[in-house]
Each structure stands twice: as C-alpha cells, then as structure tokens.
C-alpha cells in the first residue's frame, strides 16, 4: 500500500521511511499530535505522517522565526513585540533538522538540543586513535650520569613501580586533565614503561627520581612530570590541541571572505525546474553587464556560455581546471569570464556573477565549491540559478551575511506528460526518444539491440570526452541526420542541449554514494528524476510537449510517484578544509601523513550543523595515501591530492603516481616521456576494452593539463598534449560510431 505523508507529501515507495497513522483514541491522538509538534494540524483517520522528517508545525519559516536555545527560559511576549528582548539569547530557525517540535505559534519558542559540533571537550576513543604516536628516541651520552650518581636500576623493581604508577586512580585522573583519554593513556603508559625498561641511558632527572622511589625516598606520583614530558613527545597534539581546534573552527565561513563582506551585494535567486528559462534570464544580465563571471558545474556548460557570450559580441574568457582560453589574448583579459565553479577567483570584483545549479551546495563531494562561491564572490549582483529546494538554505546563509535575497520563480516553458504505458519493448522506440540507463553495460546492451533492429543511435555517457559528447548530441539533434534515437546515462541531466521528445527510464535504480562514502543501489532521487525527465520537450525545438515513461511496466507507478513530488528541502551546504588550514595543521603535527591530517581536521572541526556539513574527503585521502611514500613538499602534495581523477581506473591511478614521482625528482614530465607511458600514436579501438583504455588515456591527458597549470615548469608541454588530446577525442568518437562492431568484436574475443 502506498502511503503519502500529509505534511511533506512524500510517499513510502522506497520502504525506508516509517509512516504513522493517527491513533483512533481521541486522547491518545491528541498526545500523539503534541509529541510530533502538529497539535494544530487537522488529523483524520486516514492521514499518515512521516516520522522524524515531519515533526514540524506548518507555518514555521526557516530564517524568519527564532527560538530560545534553552527551552527552560521564559519570555515576555510584550517585550518581544516591543523589540526589548535581547535577541542574542535566540537562535535562528534554519529548517526541519533544527527542531523536535514547535511550541508557540506567535513567537516560535522551539525547544532544541544543544547544537552538535564535531569538536569535543574530551575526545572519544575513535578521535583519539587518529593521533599516531611519534617514537621517542633516547639521547645517550658517553657517560651514564644517572648511573654514576645513584647506581644502576634493577629492572624487576623498576617494573613494579611503573605498574603501580600506571594503576593509580589519581594519575589516570591527572592524565585525563591533560587531554589523555583512556585510549591514549593505554598507549602512553605502555610506551613509557617500555622506554624506561629498555633505554640504557635514561635522562638524568628521571633516573634520579626512579632511584629515589626504589629507595623509599619518594612516591610513585613523582614520576608524573617526566611521564608527561614523554607523552608530549609521543603525542605533540597535546600541547597544541586548542590551536588545532581554533584552526578547524568552521562555524562562521562567511567571515573568511572580507572582500565580499565589504560589498552590499544583491542576491537574486532564479528558481525553477529544468527547461524553465531561469538560466537564460540570468545569462542575459551577465552578458549585458560591464563585467561578470559565470560559475558552472560542468566543462560543457562553461564552454557553452563562453561561446554564447563571444557570439553575442561580448568578449569572454574561459577557465577550467584543464583549460585557459582568452578571447583577446593572454595579455588582455576580458571583463567577462566563464569558469568551472571551483576555479572562480575570489579576489576579482565583478558587476554580475552567475552561479549555476546552486542546489549542488548539498553535493557530498563538490558542495563546498558552491558554498565558497556564494559566500565569497565580490560582485555587486549574485544571480543564483537552481531548484526551489535551495531557497530556504540560501536565505538562511544570507542572513548570516546580512544580505537580502530576491526570489524570481519560473515555470516550465513546455508541457511534460507522463505516459500511461511503459515502452515494453525496444520495437516501440520512436524518433526523438532518449533511453536513460545508469551503467555502461545497459548502454551497450540497449545500443546493440537497437542497431540490430536497424535503428541508428547516438550514445552519451559520463566518461566520454567532451568533444565526443558534443558530436553525438549534434548527430541526434540534426533533423537531416538519420540518427533519431539517443541512448544515454544521467550525463544528459545538465550540460547538453538535446532535442528530446520522450525520456524513457530503462531503470529507476541508480548507484549512489551515501553520507558515509559507501556505494549503494537506490531508487532515483526526486531531484534527479525531475532533472532528467525535464530534458524532454525542450523549448525552441520541434517538440513542444515532452513525454516521459519507463521501459518496464512495473516501474511506471514509481516514476509517477517520483514526478508527483517536489525535491526535498536542502538544509545544509558543504565545506572543505583549505590548503592554508592543512598547512597550519602540518606545522603543529609535522610527523602526520596528509591523509591522517585530514582525519584529525575533521574530528576536531566545529561546524554549524544547522547550515553546513563537511564534504566527503575520501577521494582526497585516497590520493594522499597513494603518494604518501613519495617525497613531496606539503603544498605540492595537497595540490596533487586535489586532482580530479577517476580513482576507479587502475591505469589513471598508476599514471598519477608516476607523475608524482617524476615531480618529486624535479624531472620535467615532457611529451616524449608521456608518449612512452601512454602508447602514442593511438589506433582506432577495435573492442570495448580498447575504447575503455582510450578513455583512460584521455583522462591521463586531462590530468597532465590540470597539473600543467599548477606546476608549469615541470609539465611544460601542455600545448602539444592538448593537440594530441583532440586527436584522441576523434578516435574515441570513431569508436562510438562503430559501437556495435566493437561489441561484436568483444564478444568474439571471449
């Protein structure tokens, strides 16, 4: 049975939410409503509420209503109305995650648990285990002065007093006060005991104290100062823990950008679904401004804006991680720039900035880049384009910067209809259809089946080079071309102009990465479904109405449920440690590997969880571990670990490691060196494995270009590498055109 939540309208199609029906007994129902914070909401017997997610009284507006941090405090409503109450006692209601229930309709005094932060007064064992002990080496003198003064120490007697020292409750309590939890204490006592028993020449002062205790002239507690000295050498973080916590205090990221804070910025949010014209209107303002910057999520979008701007007579430069193109020459930069969102320069002033797909602030891996752009671009006008689900979060963030947000809402320009029947068979494919798959195997299977029926197809998936994607899109869009069907992954969700009549979901199950960084198979999110389905019936094409359906009849009901919902409200934006912050950590903890520094940073970081979250650092740490044994300066190591590579490709990872090794030896990575490792010149692929390998080589060339803009001296041949990359792009495109032949050859070679 499908249940729908009366508050958020979501259904239980995923079977991973608990839906509660109202109790039948009136008294119990009343208590139930109060417990959920919906006592003023009309409840009937057939109403369901989604537990945890919707414990919120309708009417509370994030960013506008306030509540007391301590629910036991009282408030004088008259004083509140007269603005005589100290508003420092209040916190801003950010969204559903902030509260358990709403109490007072007028003042919204919302009880809430103390704000969670990642840094703690006393670290738990999991956090403490991140601090790896540094070996304490003895410093032997030619003469053992301790032995000369007090005589040798008997090991068996020494062991007894050291064990007695470690077991004393007051010593453990004192160690706790110095930042040693039970986990660190265990390591410290063991290491100190081993040091005292195995070191031939102990420090003189320690030797004398131990001798006095053995002769009943002292107490075992006298050892503590020397134990503490030893511990601080083992765990250098103990002396600088407060400094480390200050460095990783991320509660007020708005304060990191003084240039933006010095401006009275105007924030305009263009909110609407796919194919609503929201980005078009923002770009019109961008093109007509005296100066501007466009921040896009994909190289294809960045390139499209770059071309559009220059074609309209407004000189515009292009900037991505791998490419720099200047409309008027290197020495004469344009006033307009189209760049990938990670590359935007926060030291340059603009009249207009456009940040596209602002809802990607929620992205677990890249969300930090949108947060940084929103908070940090010093422009007179900031135009945000994206889903309405991000409006509340943007308003709340802008409250922290003291900026108002103007909302401009857009509706879809063409109709989108959900068909009542699934496709059922590839025999029912029609011109203008796009079959959306979520893995390469399905792409290849569907393409081969269609071409065996004499239906020519265009193919687009994420790992294809940009040139190949554009060529396949142009082939599909060309009314004179015989290719009328597209087979694609969710790569078509943004970045390509496609003349699609009907979207057909081959499946509704997609691999995704959860908050723990684990891969799982799950039903498509509402946001992704709307984004992909919205590609049908693009305004200005031959298809004035878009259609959407599924391949399997059993998926159609789920698709209708998904499209009947609105995307879940976005409540948090991503953050990421900066190179400067990690460099400061390395100064305090010089013996810690970079991956370990990132773990420590996250464990000690303090984040305002009502607005922000820490982005997933697994890719960064994966690369850091891969090159840990390579001797690199910290700043260079950090830059290498920021490289956008496909860690699933062993070939790309191996080349990444070779680049790092060459760099560490200060040897230039020339084109001739590169040719020896990538097998240039290339041949047209004959099998799918050949095609996949060439895609990997293309990624390696991308990596070379990315590094060449950061280490120009040691990656000197960017120009020739770019030319070779264009040649490789054409070969991959030729392979895609003959995809059926490649699949046949691959089957024959097994």
Region 739-750: what's the mean pLDDT? 65
pTM of the predicted model as reported, rounded to 2 decimal places: 0.78
| 141 — pLDDT class (breaks 50, 70, 90) | low
Residue 103 has pLDDT above 90, yes or no: no
Mean pLDDT for 68-96 is: 39
406 close to 266: Cβ distance less than 8 angstroms? yes
Across-strand partners of 575? Answer: 614
* DSSP category for residue 283: H
Lowest mean pLDDT among 141-155, 399-413, 437-451, 671-685: 141-155
Is 69 among the domain residues?
Answer: no
Question: Residue 661 pLDDT > 90, yes or no?
Answer: yes
Q: Considering 409, 439, 471, which residue would you say is the last residue of a domain?
A: 409
Q: What is the pLDDT of residue 567?
A: 87
Residue 241 near residue 180 (C-beta atoms within 8 A): no
In this structure, what CATH number is given to the domain that contains residue 659? 1.20.58.1080
Same-domain status, 434 and 310: no
Cβ–Cβ under 8 Å, residues 662 and 707 = no
Mean per-residue pLDDT, 337-354 = 96
- Enter the tokens of residue 491: 């790569």
State the pLDDT confidence band at 186, using cuts at 50, 70 and 90: confident
**465: pLDDT strictly greater than 80:** yes
How many domains is the chain built from?
4
User: Which helix (H) or strand (E) element contains residue 452?
Assistant: helix 440-452
Rounded CA separation 745/750 (Å): 9
Q: What pLDDT does residue 138 have?
A: 77
**Average confidence (pLDDT) over 282-299:** 96
What is the rounded average pLDDT of the residues 394-398?
95
Has residue 590 been placed in a domain? Answer: no
pLDDT score, position 45 = 64
* Burial environment of residue 748 by CB neighbours within 10 A (0 to 12, 13 to 18, 19 or more): exposed
What per-residue confidence (pLDDT) applies to 96? 40
Give yes or no for a contact between 281 and 270, defined as CB atoms under 8 angstroms apart: yes
Does 158 share its domain with 292?
A: no
Q: In 3D, which of 273, 250, 272, 302 has the Cα closest to residue 118?
A: 250
What is the per-residue burial (b if ≥16 Cβ within 10 Å, else e) of 639-657? bbbebebbeebebbbebbb
The larger pLDDT score, comparing residue 498 to residue 92, is at 498
Picking from 68, 115, 114, the residue whose alpha carbon sits closest to that of residue 87 is 68
Q: Model confidence over 514-524: pLDDT tens digits?
A: 656 566 677 88
What pLDDT does 177 receive?
85
Q: Which of 345, 379, 409 is the last residue of a domain?
A: 409
User: Sign of dihedral through CA atoms 461, 464, 467, 471?
Assistant: negative
Same domain flag for 541 and 629: no
Res. 456: pLDDT tops 90: yes
Note the pLDDT of residue 118.
39
Looking at residues 613-622, what average pLDDT do you find?
Answer: 93
- Convert 633-649 into a string of H (helix), E (strand) and C (coil): CHHHHHHHHCCCCCCCC
Q: Are residues 142 and 229 in the same domain?
A: yes
The answer to whether 610 and 95 have CB atoms below 8 angstroms apart is yes
Q: Give one DSSP letter per residue of 453-465, joined into a string.
A: TT--EEEE-TTS-
User: With left for phi above 0 and alpha for psi between -120 and 50, is residue 492 left, alpha or beta?
Assistant: alpha
Q: Where are the beta strands (DSSP E) in 468-604?
A: 485-488, 502-505, 509-513, 519-523, 545-550, 573-575
Cα separation, 616 vs 363, whole angstroms: 9
The DSSP result for 412-443, as a single string, is: -SSEEEE-SS---SGGG--TTEEEE-SSHHHH
Q: Which residues of 543-579 are buried (b: 16+ CB within 10 A; e: fewer)?
A: beebbbbbbeeebbebbbbbeebebebbbbbbbbbee
| Burial category of 65 from C-beta neighbours within 10 Å (exposed 0-12, middle 13-18, buried 19 and up) | middle
Q: What percent of the chain stands above pLDDT 70?
A: 81
pLDDT, mean of residues 701-713: 96
Mean pLDDT of 322-339: 93
Give CA angle at 277 (273, 280), nearest 5°.
130
Identify whether 71 is part of a domain.
no
CATH number of the domain to which 507 belongs: 3.40.50.300
Give the pLDDT confidence of 672-701 residue by residue, as tens digits.
999 999 988 888 888 889 999 999 999 999
Place of tokens 């908050």: 515
CA distances from 444 to 166, 504, 649, 693, 731 (A): 65, 16, 19, 16, 18
In terms of C-beta density within 10 A (0-12 exposed, 13-18 middle, 19 or more buried), how is residue 680 classed?
middle
3-state secondary structure of 746: helix
Higher-pLDDT residue of 461 and 113 is 461
Are residues 362 and 499 both part of a single domain?
Answer: no
Number of other residues whose CB lies within 10 A of the CB of residue 458: 25
- Mean pLDDT for all residues in the chain: 83
Report pLDDT for 572.
94
Model confidence band, residue 16 (pLDDT cutoffs 50, 70, 90) = very low
pLDDT digits (tens, 9 = 90+) for 469-496: 999 999 999 999 999 999 999 888 877 8
Residue 708 host element (H or E)? helix 688-708
Highest mean pLDDT among 8-22, 200-214, 251-265, 536-550: 251-265
Q: Looking at the predicted structure, is the pLDDT value of residue 597 above 50?
A: yes
- Quick one: 464 and 553 in the same domain? yes
Torsion sign (Cα): 153, 155, 160, 162: positive
What per-residue confidence (pLDDT) applies to 287? 95
pLDDT tops 50 at residue 577: yes
Residue 27 CB contacts under 8 Å (≥ 6 apart), including other chains: none
Shared domain check, 211 and 138:
yes
Same domain for 230 and 278?
A: no
Query: Facing residues of 269 across strands?
Result: 384, 407
Same domain, 524 and 458: yes
The answer to whether residue 31 scores a pLDDT higher than 80 is no
The gap from C-alpha 405 to its chain's centroid, in whole angstroms, comes to 25
Residue-level pLDDT at 435: 96
- CA 286 to CA 284: how far, in whole Å? 5
Residue 709 confidence (pLDDT) above 90: yes
Where does the pLDDT of residue 11 fall: very low under 50, low under 70, confident under 90, or very high at 90 and above? low
Higher pLDDT, 4 or 598: 598
For residues 397 and 424, membership in a common domain is answered with no
Instruction: Tell whether 582 is covered by a domain.
Output: no
Average pLDDT over residues 287-300: 95
**Distance, CA of 295 to CA of 344 (rounded, Å):** 7
Question: Is pLDDT of 58 > 50?
Answer: no
Specify if 384 maps to a domain: yes
Residue 277 contacts residue 413 (beta carbons within 8 Å): yes
Residue 627 or residue 220, greater confidence = 627
Domain final residue pick, 381, 409, 437: 409
The mean pLDDT of 21-45, rounded to a whole number, is 66
Give yes or no for a contact between 488 and 435, defined as CB atoms under 8 angstroms apart: yes
**Mean pLDDT value across residues 591-612:** 91
* Whole-number Å distance between alpha carbons of 297 and 265: 22
Q: Would you list the DSSP string of 97-111?
A: GG-S----TTT----
Number of alpha carbons in the 13 Å side-chain half-sphere of residue 407? 13
Please check the confidence at residue 116 and state whether its pLDDT lies above 50. no
User: Band of the pLDDT at 376, cuts 50, 70, 90?
Assistant: very high
Spatial distance between the Cα atoms of 131 and 596, rounded to a whole number of angstroms:
8
CA triplet 736, 741, 747: central angle to 5 degrees? 115
Q: Would 26 be classed as within a structural domain? A: no
Give helix 634-641 / helix 579-588 axis angle, nearest 10°.
140
Q: With CA atoms as reference, report the closest residue to 228 among 178, 194, 159, 181.
A: 178
Ranking 235-249, 349-363, 396-410 by mean pLDDT, the lowest is 235-249
Judged by DSSP in three states, 503 sits in strand
* pLDDT at residue 330 in the model: 86
Phi, psi of 270 (to 5 degrees): -90, 100
Position 569 in a domain: no
Q: Where in the sequence is the domain holding 696, given as residue range(s)?
A: 616-746
- pLDDT score at 9: 56
Q: Which residue has the tokens 């358990």?
A: 100
Confidence band (pLDDT; 50, 70, 90) for 204? confident
> Considering the domain boundaries, does residue 496 fall inside one?
yes
- 432 with 535, same domain? yes
Whether residue 341 is found in the same domain as residue 452: no
């Amino acid at each position: 049975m499908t249940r729908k939540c009366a508050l958020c309208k979501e259904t239980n199609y995923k079977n991973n939410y608990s839906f509660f029906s109202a109790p039948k007994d009136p008294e119990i129902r009343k208590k139930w409503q109060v417990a959920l914070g919906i006592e003023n909401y009309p409840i009937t017997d057939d109403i369901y509420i989604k537990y945890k997610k919707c414990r919120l009284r309708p009417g509370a507006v994030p960013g506008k209503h306030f509540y007391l941090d301590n629910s036991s405090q009282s408030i004088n409503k008259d004083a509140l109305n007269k603005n005589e109450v100290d508003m420092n006692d209040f916190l801003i209601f950010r969204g559903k995650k902030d509260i358990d229930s709403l109490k007072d309709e007028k003042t919204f005094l919302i009880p809430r648990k103390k704000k969670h932060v990642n840094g703690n007064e006393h670290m738990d064992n999991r956090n403490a285990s991140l601090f790896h002990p540094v070996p304490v080496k003895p410093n032997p003198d030619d003469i053992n002065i301790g032995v000369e003064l007090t005589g040798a120490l008997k090991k068996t007697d020494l062991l007894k007093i050291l064990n007695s020292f470690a077991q004393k409750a007051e010593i453990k309590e004192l160690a706790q006060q110095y930042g040693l939890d039970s986990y660190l204490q265990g390591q410290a006592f063991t290491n100190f005991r081993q040091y005292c028993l195995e070191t031939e020449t102990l420090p003189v002062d320690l030797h004398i104290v131990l001798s006095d205790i053995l002769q009943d002239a002292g107490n075992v507690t006298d050892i503590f100062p020397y134990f503490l000295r030893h511990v601080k050498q083992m765990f250098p973080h103990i002396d600088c823990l407060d400094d480390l916590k200050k460095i990783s205090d991320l509660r007020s990221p708005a304060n990191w950008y003084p240039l933006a804070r010095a401006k009275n910025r105007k924030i305009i949010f263009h909110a609407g679904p796919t194919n609503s014209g929201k980005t078009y209107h923002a770009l019109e303002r961008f093109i007509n401004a005296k100066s501007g910057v466009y921040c896009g999520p994909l190289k294809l979008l960045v390139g499209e804006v770059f071309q559009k701007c220059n074609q309209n007579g407004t000189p515009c430069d292009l900037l991505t991680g791998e490419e720099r193109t200047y409309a008027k020459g290197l020495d004469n930069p344009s006033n307009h720039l189209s760049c990938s969102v990670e590359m935007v320069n926060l030291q340059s002033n603009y009249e207009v900035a456009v940040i596209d797909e602002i809802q990607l602030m929620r992205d677990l891996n890249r969300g930090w880049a949108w947060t940084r752009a929103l908070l940090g671009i010093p422009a007179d006008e900031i135009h945000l384009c994206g889903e309405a689900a991000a409006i509340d979060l943007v308003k709340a963030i802008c409250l922290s910067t003291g900026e108002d947000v103007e909302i401009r809402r857009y509706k879809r320009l063409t109709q989108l209809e959900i068909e009542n029947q699934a496709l059922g068979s590839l025999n029912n494919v029609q011109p203008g259809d796009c079959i959306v798959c979520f893995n390469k195997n399905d792409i290849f299977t569907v393409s081969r089946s269609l071409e065996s029926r004499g239906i020519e197809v265009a193919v687009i998936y994420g790992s294809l080079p940009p040139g190949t994607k554009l060529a396949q899109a142009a082939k599909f869009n060309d009314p004179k071309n015989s290719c009328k069907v597209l087979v694609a992954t969710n790569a078509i969700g943004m970045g390509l102009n496609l003349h699609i009549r009907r979207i057909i979901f081959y499946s509704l199950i997609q691999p995704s990465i959860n908050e723990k960084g684990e891969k799982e198979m799950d039903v498509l999110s509402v946001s992704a479904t709307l984004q992909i389905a919205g590609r049908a019936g693009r305004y200005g094409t031959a298809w004035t109405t878009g259609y959407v359906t599924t391949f399997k009849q059993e998926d159609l009901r789920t698709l209708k449920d998904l499209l009947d919902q609105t995307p879940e409200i976005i409540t948090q934006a991503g953050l990421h440690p900066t190179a400067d912050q990690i460099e400061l950590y390395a100064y305090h903890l010089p013996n810690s590997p970079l991956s370990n520094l990132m773990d420590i940073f996250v464990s000690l970081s303090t984040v305002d969880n009502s607005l922000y979250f820490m982005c997933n650092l697994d890719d960064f740490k994966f690369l850091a571990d891969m090159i840990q044994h390579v001797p690199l300066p910290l700043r260079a190591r950090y830059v290498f670990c920021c490289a956008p590579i496909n860690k699933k490709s062993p070939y790309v990872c191996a080349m990444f490691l070779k680049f790092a090794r060459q760099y560490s030896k200060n040897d230039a990575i020339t084109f001739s060196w590169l040719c020896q490792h990538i097998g240039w010149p290339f041949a047209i692929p004959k099998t799918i494995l050949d095609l996949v390998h060439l895609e990997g080589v293309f990624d390696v060339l991308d990596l070379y270009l990315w590094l060449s803009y950061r280490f120009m001296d040691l990656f000197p041949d960017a120009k020739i590498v770019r030319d070779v990359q264009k040649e490789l792009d054409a070969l991959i495109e030729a392979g895609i055109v003959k995809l059926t032949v490649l699949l046949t050859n691959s089957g024959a070679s097994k």
